Structure 1
Amino acid sequence: MQTHEIRRRFLDHFEKLGHTPVPSASLVLDDPNLLFINAGMVQFVPYFLGQRTPPFDRAVSVQKCVRTGDIENVGVTTRHNTFFQMAGNFSFGDYFKREVVGFAWTLLTSPVEEGGYGFDPERIWATAYLDDDEAIQIWKDVAGLPDERIQRRGMADNYWSMGIPGPCGPCSEIYYDRGPEYGRDGGPEADEDRYIEIWNLVFMQNERGQGTGKDDFEILGPLPRKNIDTGMGVERVAFLLQEVDNVYETDLVRPVITEAERLSGRTYGENHEADVRFRVIADHARTAVMLIADGVTPGNDGRGYVLRRLLRRIVRSARLLGATDPSMSRFVTVVRDTMAESYPELVEDFARIESVAVGEERAFLTTLSSGSKLFESAAQSVTAAGGKRIGGSEAFVLHDTYGFPIDLTLEMAAEAGLEVDEDGFRTLMAEQRSRAKADAQARKHAHTDLSVYKEFVDRGPTEFTGFDELDSEATVLALISGGVRVPTAAAGEDVDVILDRTPLYAEAGGQLADIGTITGRGLRVTVRDVQKIAKTVWVHKVTVDEGQLTEGDAVTAHTDPQWRRGATQGHSGTHLVGGALRQILGPNAVQAGSLNKPGYLRFDFTYQGALSESQREDIEAVTNDAVGSDYAVNTFTTGLDEAKEMGAQALFGENYGDEVRVVEIGGPFSLELCGGTHVQHSSQIGPVTILGESSVGSGVRRVEAFVGLDSYKYLAKERALLAGLATSLKVPTDEVPARVENLVERLRVAEKELEATRAAAVLSSAGSYVDAARTVGTVRVVAAPAPAGVAAGDLRTLALDIRGRFGSEPAVVALFGDVDGKVPFVVATTSGARDLGIAAGELVSSFGPSIGGRGGGKADAAQGSGSDAAGIPSAIDAVVARIAEIAS
């Protein structure tokens, strides 16, 4: 049975049982606690917690999931995927244990011709929580399972939660016995490779508190009502029904392995080590495609880092299998072709998906080449010195200078039989920079008890009047302070305010919230920010300036007109820049994010490589042409599918409802799904000045611009600067660029002449160093401080020149500089010295600690840097002592 058919049968089975089908949510959830959706029930959490009233009593879904904790297990076990599909049926205060066991048993064991999966009931086992006698009796009554095929297990195995505070409860897991050829007897407790878990029935009845493990959290109390949450692993059911050995050999994953075989010339199944690499490629390629499709781009933090790690593991695994050519395009194409039946958006968005994945591969191939050489050098130095651990500083240099992820360093070290000082690496990372903060919206509500808002979410959305007016009469529905409702707020207090209607825009879609005031009889309140709860309830964050604000007050909400005017200019300008980008760069320049506020906009988009000066000029020109054309700005509401058919642009990773608002500027010039505020005609945006373009991640670029009056002020400042230069250079303004270029060229020539003079001066001292060389055994040794002020590049030139003057005579040159608190050093050996077993790279380890330094190189030359100039005399002594030891 094919995987797409398994999905279809699950949905059909539960629809017939009265469940409402719910589409899969995006893998990227607006939740600061989760990188990705990791279970089918995540999108239903507000219903389980009682924070929102579900619109249905029963639901069914097949949810996209990613679990990053299993990355190291991918390919090693038979059952771990980073991306998987979780089929689930849910009850919100409707049915409970007995019904859900019956529903699952019927689907699993009914004959294929009757719509079931046709599993042999004699090979099905169940587990239950230690004291859940009720569940055990139900399995006996409903499924007829004998006692010996029902096992009691502890909290770590049979008490489910998301791993963070939230809903939880005891569970009952369903296992399938693959047979004695796959392991020992004894049920799931004995061998979970033979007995494969395929379905987890969670009796969601409690709420858990903080904790770090599966069984060390506190049960806070019961949920408002008992619920059912189940999760059936689609991939696990597929590999059992398709009678293959593991999840990597199913119909949706094996084709990627086949492609890797073609590219590498290797055969899957030839040995365990190669098989793990094949599986890593197949699993990670699928996960990467699904993440990119939901708007994730490679980066150095959070979700972007996970994606980057997956893509880089694919590249390295392919290389280790023997694939020499770029392969990412081939892998993601196979994923598209196999997954498209269930996820047609992969076909629609494939050009962007491929561009992001291939761009990361291209960047990493360069990193892999340079970083691997440095890693091999570090590993050789450690091994030569009899060590087993690569220092944290070497791992940091690999990461910071060469973009080598620590995970890859750890993997390569393990393959070489070495360890890495990971604690030292983490310390250096912490000293260099702090990790990126969570998304701004998530930060604002990360630890808020949202149950206080449930009444207002259930009441229906706040009426937003700001499209038509700047001032609105309103009623104060609630005041909230510290997550608790309060009846009043006095002057000087900060409080959250919920109104029944408001003209103030709540932050969304890249547009910052409006600012303004709320007034009433003897009352004045400053609105600093406006945020949304559950995308429907406007929460005004305010300070009471005068009077007393009371729940039930009749008030007037005012939007700051100057702020709104600037905000609409910025937002409409963002749409025009997006349209210009698509005109100049093509349809693959797709929006990846934005931010706009009065006078300023930034626009992130997918594109490989920096823009040329000509392209930037063209984008600015096309944008301002659109401003000058005075296009009408039209908005209308339509169905999501209809909007897509019109060609309306959507932000990837954003979840849209069935009805969407479309903003049209200049007909086909810009047509986008957008809930923001806009100008009425494009001319009202004013001039748009592109400030610059930069990279914000692999395959993602950013354009920044000023609009309106801020654009004019910027241009006026630039004009004044140009006039000042013209005055200083005593030329007309149109001749300033040529005169500056002439001056720069003259400076460049002067610097070259100065460099040649300095190099000659440095080399002139080479003879004196040779004359002062000491003899250690049969080796001539120059170990000394370098001339004052000599930079690292000149130091190497001088050391090699001194070495050359000794010819083939056994000789070692070790020079130490002192430049701005750093201690650059160079060690060079002649062929005669190397014949005696003296290697430059090995000498570095003898004196490095004296100057707090590190470095490396080959037997003929090595170099590096230290941080303690006071240790130079000790370093010189260490070099001489080591040479004496070897020479003797």
Structure 2
Amino acid sequence: MQTHEIRRRFLDHFEKAGHTPVPSASLILDDPNLLFINAGMVQFVPYFLGQQTPSFSRATSVQKCVRTGDIENVGVTTRHNTFFQMAGNFSFGDYFKREAITFAWSLLTSSVEDGGYGFDPERIWATAYLDDDEAIALWKEIAGLPDERIQRRGMADNYWSMGIPGPCGPCSEIYYDRGPEYGVDGGPEADEDRYIEIWNLVFMQNERGQGTSKDDFEILGPLPKQNIDTGMGVERVAFLLQDVDNVYETDLVRPVISKAEELSGRRYGADHQADVRFRVIADHARTAVMLIGDGVTPGNDGRGYVLRRLLRRIVRSARLLGATDPSMSAFVTVVRDTMAESYPELISEFDRIHSIAVGEETAFLATLTSGSRLFENAADAVKSSGGGVIAGSEAFVLHDTYGFPIDLTLEMAAEAGLTVDEDGFRSLMSEQRQRAKADAQARKHAHTDLTVYRDLVDRGPTEFTGFDELDSDATVLALIWGGVRIPTATTGQDVEIVLDRSPLYAEAGGQLADIGFLSAPGLRVTVNDVQKIAKTLWVHKSTVTEGQITEGDVVLAQVDPAWRRGATQGHSGTHMVGGALRQILGPNAVQAGSLNKPGYLRFDFNYQGALTDSQRADIEAVTNDAVSSDFEVNTFVTELDKARAMGAQALFGENYGDEVRVVEIGGPFSMELCGGTHVAHSSQIGPVTILGESSVGSGVRRVEAFVGLDSYKYLAKERALLAGIASSLKVPSDEVPARVENLVERLKVAEKELEAARAASVLSSASSFVDKAHRIGSVLLVAEPAPAGVGAGDLRTLVADVRGRFGSQAAVVALFGDADGKVPFVVSATKAAQEVGVKAGGLVASFGPSIGGRGGGKADTAQGAGSDAAGIPAAIEALRNRVAEIAGS
């Protein structure tokens, strides 16, 4: 049975049982606790906690999930995946254990002809929480499972939570026995490779508190209602129904491995280490495509770092398999072709996905090139010192700082006849992980307690009137402060105010919230911010400046008109800049985020490489041309599918409802899904001035601009600045660029002359150092502090000059600088000194600790830096002793 069919049967089964099908949420659902959605129930957490009331009592979904905690085990085992699909059925206070077990058993064991999966009931096992006698009794009654195929397990295995304060409860897991050829008898407790978990039924009934592990947390008490949350692993069911050994051999994953075989010339199944690399490619390619599809771009932290790491592991694994040419394009194409039946957006967004993935591969291949050079330097230093082991710290720096994979370091070390201190490397990696784990734990929080808003959310959404008016009569539904309802607030008091209707825009979609006022006879309230709760309830964060406000009062809610005018200019200007970007750079320059406020906008977009001056000028010109065209701004509400068919732009990672608001400016020039406020005609935006363009992550660029009056003020300031420069230079304004260029060139010439004079001054001291040479055995040694102010670059030049003055004599020159709190040093040995065994690279270890430094190099020259200038005398003494040991006293 194909994977797409497994998904379809699951949803059909539960829809027939009265469950509402709910689309998969984006992998980057807005949740402060999660980088990515990692379970099917995540989008339903507010329902389980009773913070919101769903419009349905039963739901079913197939949720996209990503878990990266076990990334190092991906490929090593056949049970770990980063991307997977979790099919689930959910009850919100409707049914409980009996129905959950009945639904699961029916789908698993019903015949294929009757819409089921056709699993052999005699090979199904179940587990239950230690004291869950009810679940065990139901398994016996409903499924007829004998006692020996039901196992009780502890909290770590059969009590489910998200790992943070939130909903939790005992669970019952369903396992399938693959047969004795896969392991020992004894059920899941004995062997979870033979007995594969395929479905987890969570009886969500409690709320947990803080804790440090799966079985170390406090149960705070029962949830408002008993709920059901189940998760069936689609990929695991697939490999069982397709009669293959593991998920990597299923219909949606094996094609990527086949492509890797084709590109590398290797065969999957012939070598364990190669198989690990094949599986890494197959797993990570799927995950990367799904992440990019949901709006993630490679970066140096957070979600972007995870994606970057996955893509780089693909490149690394392909290279280690022997694929010498770029291969990312082929892998992502296979993922698109296999996954698109369930995720058709992979087809419509493929150009963007492909561009980002291939761009990261290109960048990393360049990193591999530079990393190889760094490795060669490290290897040469080890060899020149007579050693055979590359330090774990060197391997760690290559990995952590330069992104050079440890596998390649090991491989290249072996080719060079060296080994790597893997224990030292692993130790440093472990320390880094512990720091990261502690940081992640510190950033984890319980879900924000929204209980105080629950009744207000259930009452219905706030009526937003701000599209049509700037002031509205409204009733105060609630006053809240410190997480509790209060009956009244008086002068000087900060308070959150919930109204039944409001013209003030709540922050969303990159547009900052409106500011404004609430008033009534004897009352004045300043609204400083407006935020949404559960995406439907407007909460006005306010300060009472005069009088007293009480729940139930009728007030006049007013938007500050100057703020709103500037805000609409900024938001509409954002749409115009977006349209210009797509026109100049192409359709793949899609929005990755934005911020707009009165007079200012910034627009993030997916694009590889910096913009040229010409492109920036063209974007500004096209934007202002569209502004001056006085396009009418039209808004309308339509179905999501119809809006997409019309070509409306959507923000990746955003979850939209069935009906969406479309803002259209100039027909095809700009058509976007947007819930913000806008001008009536494009000319009301006023001039748009592009301030600059920069990178905010790999493959993501940012344009910033002023609009309206702020644009005019900026241009006026620039004009005054230009006039001042022209006056100082005594030339007309249009001649300023040429005159400045001339001055810059003259300055460069002067700097070169100064540099030459300074270098000559440094070299003039060379002869004095020759005079300070001491004979140690058969070698002349110069070991001295460098002249004050000599930096690392000059130090190398000076040492080379001193060494050259010794001609064919055996001599070693070592100078130590002291500049800006650092102690740069350079050591150099003549050929004759090297012949008696004194090599520069091998001397550094003898004196480096004295100055708190490190370094390395080859036999003729080594360099590095320390941090303790007070240790220079000790370093010189240590160096003398080491030369004496080698060359004789």
TM-score (norm 2): 0.94
Describe the superposition over 1:820-858 as per-residue Cα deviations: whole angstroms up to 9, x where unpaired.
Answer: 222111122233333334332332222112112222222
1:626 CA displacement: 1.0
Verify the 8 A CA contact 1:526 1:544 in the aligned structure 2: yes
Q: Which residue of 1 aligns with 2:832?
A: 832
2:472 equivalent in structure 1? 472
Corresponding residue for residue 795 of structure 2: 795
| 1-structure distance, mates of 2:850, 2:472 | 73
Instruction: Tell me if structure 2 keeps the 8 A contact 1:399–1:406.
Output: no
Deviations 1:167-196 (A, max 9, x none): 111111011111222211111111111111
Distance 2:528 2:708 in 1: 23
- Aligned residue in 2 for 1:849: 849
Q: What is residue 628 of structure 2 aligned with on the other side?
A: 628
d(CA) in 2 for partners of 1:819 and 1:803?
23
**2:292 pairs with 1:287:** no
What residue in structure 1 maps to residue 780 of structure 2?
780
How many angstroms apart in 1 are the aligned matches of 2:559 and 2:824? 61
Please state whether the residue corresponding to 2:623 is helix, strand or coil: helix
What is the correspondence of 1:408-487 to structure 2 with a 5 Å cutoff?
417-420=422-425, 422=428, 448-487=448-487
- Asked whether the equivalents of residues 204 and 229 of structure 1 are also in contact (C-alpha less than 8 Å), the reply is yes
Shift of 1:753: 2.2
Structure 2 stretches lacking a partner, 5+ long: 414-418
* 3-state SS of paired residue (2:215): coil
SS in 1 for 2:216: coil
**Residue-by-residue CA offset, 1:339-358 (whole Å, 9 max, x unaligned):** 10100001100111111112
The more displaced of 778-787 and 36-45 is 778-787
What amino acid maps onto 1:225 in structure 2?
K
1:806–1:330 CA distance, 2 compared to 1 (3 A): farther
Contact 1:478 1:485 in 2 (8 A): yes
Q: Distance in 2 between matches of 1:233 and 1:425?
A: 33
Q: Which residue does 1:297 correspond to in 2?
A: 297
- In the other structure, the counterpart of 2:610 is 610
- Measured after TM superposition, the shift of residue 399 of structure 1 is 4.3
Once superposed, what is the RMSD of the aligned Cα atoms? 2.6
Deviation at 1:800, TM superposition (A): 2.3
Q: More deviation in 412-421 or 816-825?
A: 412-421
Distance 1:834 1:240 in 2: 66
Q: In structure 2, do the counterparts of structure 1 residues 188 and 415 end up closer, same or farther at CA, with 3 Å as the change threshold? A: farther
Whether the 8 Å contact between 1:410 and 1:419 is mirrored in structure 2 is no
Tell whether the 8 Å contact from 1:826 to 1:862 is kept in structure 2 after alignment.
yes
Q: Displacement, 1:763? A: 2.9
> Residue 259 of structure 1: SS of its match in structure 2?
helix
Match of 1:236 in 2: 236
The amino acid that maps onto 1:821 is G
Deviation track 1:24-56 (CA, whole Å, cap 9, x = no partner) reads: 011111111111111111111111111122211
Q: What is the DSSP-based 3-state SS (H/G/I as helix, E as strand, rest coil) of the residue aligned with 2:270?
A: coil
Contact 2:49 2:223 survives alignment (8 Å): yes
User: Where does residue 734 of structure 2 map in the other structure?
Assistant: 734
**Post-superposition offset of 1:448:** 3.2
User: How far apart in 1 are the matches of 2:477 and 2:101?
Assistant: 44
- Separation of aligned partners in 2, 1:48 and 1:158: 19
Cα distance, 1:412 vs. partner? 11
Shift of 1:309: 1.5
Farther off after superposition, 149-158 or 753-762: 753-762
Aligned-partner Cα distance in 2 for 1:128–1:388: 51
Q: Counterpart of 1:98 in structure 2: which amino acid? A: R
Q: Is the 8 Å Cα contact of residues 295 and 653 (structure 1) preserved in structure 2?
A: yes
Which is worse superposed, 832-841 or 745-754? 832-841
Aligned to 1:524: 524
**8 A contact 2:465–2:501 mirrored in 1:** yes
Give the distance between the partners of 1:95 and 1:429, measured in 2 at CA: 43
What is the CA distance between 1:405 and its match in structure 2?
A: 8.9
Matched, 1:105 2:91: no
**Which SS does the other structure have where 1:821 is aligned?**
coil
Counterpart residue identity of residue 423, structure 2: L
One-letter code aligned to 1:41: M
The corresponding residue for 1:146 is 146
1:368 alignment counterpart:
368
Structure 1 partner of 2:72: 72
Are 2:331 and 1:326 equivalent residues in the alignment? Answer: no
Mean Cα displacement is larger for which, 481-490 or 580-589? Answer: 481-490
Deviation readout 1:209-243 (Å, 9 max, x if unpaired):
11121111111111111111110000111111112
Q: 1:408 to 1:662 in 2, by over 3 A?
A: farther
State how far apart, in whole Å, the 2-side matches of 1:180 and 1:613 are: 68
Matching residue of 1:644: 644
Q: How does 1:149-164 map to 2 (within 5 A)?
A: 149-164=149-164
Change (3 A) 1:377 1:194: farther
Deviation per CA, 1:89-125: give whole Å up to 9, x if none: 1112222212221211121122222222121222111
Determine the C-alpha separation between the residues in 1 that align with 2:850 and 2:184: 58
Residue 407 (structure 1) shift: 12
Match of 1:114, SS? coil
Encode CA deviations 1:4-23: one digit per residue, 9 max, x unaligned: 11111111111122211111
Q: 1:351 to 1:368 in 2, by over 3 A?
A: same
Change in CA separation of 1:416 and 1:3 when aligned onto 2, cut-off 3 Å: farther
Q: Which residue of 2 aligns with 1:764?
A: 764
Contact 1:396/1:428 (<8 A) preserved: no
Partner Cα distance (2:829, 2:280) in 1: 45
Q: Structure 2 counterpart of 1:871, which letter?
A: G
Report deviation, 1:437: 12
CA deviation after TM superposition for structure 1 residue 156, in Å:
0.2
1:178 corresponds to? 178
Counterpart residue number, 2:416: none
Deviation at 1:808, TM superposition (A): 4.9
Is 2:347 the partner of 1:347? yes
Q: CA deviation at 1:386?
A: 9.3
Counterpart in the other structure of 2:619: 619
Query: Is the Cα–Cα contact under 8 Å of residues 472 and 503 in structure 1 kept in the other structure?
Result: yes
SS at match of 2:211: coil
The separation in 2 between residues aligned to 1:280 and 1:416, in whole angstroms, is: 25
Distance 2:382 2:873 in 1: 25
Deviation at 1:259, TM superposition (A): 1.6
The amino acid of 1:234's aligned partner reads V
Q: CA deviation digits over 1:368-389, x for unaligned, max 9? A: 3323544675688789779996
Q: 1:397 to 1:334 in 2, by over 3 A?
A: closer
Alignment of 1:180-579 (within 5 A): 180-374=180-374, 390-391=392-393, 395=396, 399=400, 402=402, 417-420=422-425, 422=428, 448-579=448-579
Give CA-to-partner distance per residue, 1:625-650, whole Å, 9 cap, x none.
Answer: 11111111111111111111111111
Equivalent residue letter for 1:589: A
The answer to whether the Cα contact below 8 Å between 1:448 and 1:483 also exists between their aligned partners in 2 is: no
Shift of 1:79: 1.1
Is the contact made by 2:390 and 2:421 (CA closer than 8 Å) also made in structure 1?
A: no
Single out whichever of 273-282 and 156-165 deviates more from structure 2.
273-282
Rounded to whole Å, the distance in 1 between the matches of 2:52 and 2:849 is: 62
The reply on whether 1:696 has 2:696 as its aligned counterpart is yes
| Equivalent position amino acid for 1:859 in 2 | A
Q: Can you give the 5+ residue segments of structure 1 that lack an aligned partner in the other structure?
A: none
CA distance, structure 2, for counterparts of residue 196 and residue 435 of structure 1:
31
Partner amino acid, structure 2, of 1:705: A
Residue of structure 2 equivalent to 1:877: 877
Deviation per residue, 1:466-495 (Å, 9 max, x gap): 111111100000111111111111222211
Is the contact made by 2:822 and 2:869 (CA closer than 8 Å) also made in structure 1?
A: yes
- 1:15 partner SS: helix
The count of aligned residue pairs is 878
Question: Does the C-alpha gap of structure 1 residues 135 and 819 become closer, same or farther in structure 2, counting only changes over 3 Å?
Answer: same
Contact 2:395 2:406 in 1 (8 A): no
Structure 2 matches for 1:63-142, cutoff 5 A? 63-142=63-142
Query: Matches of 1:655 and 1:221 in 2, distance apart?
Result: 32
- For residues 258 and 463 of structure 2, the distance between their equivalents in structure 1, rounded to whole angstroms, comes to 55
Distance across 2 between alignment mates of 1:380 and 1:483: 64
Alpha-carbon separation, structure 1, partners of 2:441 and 2:130: 42
Report the AA paired with residue 567 of structure 2.
A
Aligned ranges 1:33-72 → 2 under 5 Å? 33-72=33-72
* Compared CA separation, residues 611 and 429, structure 1 to 2 (3 A): farther
1:845/1:281 Cα in 2 relative to 1: closer, same or farther (>3 Å)? same
Write the distance in 2 (CA, Å) between the matches of 1:469 and 1:300: 44
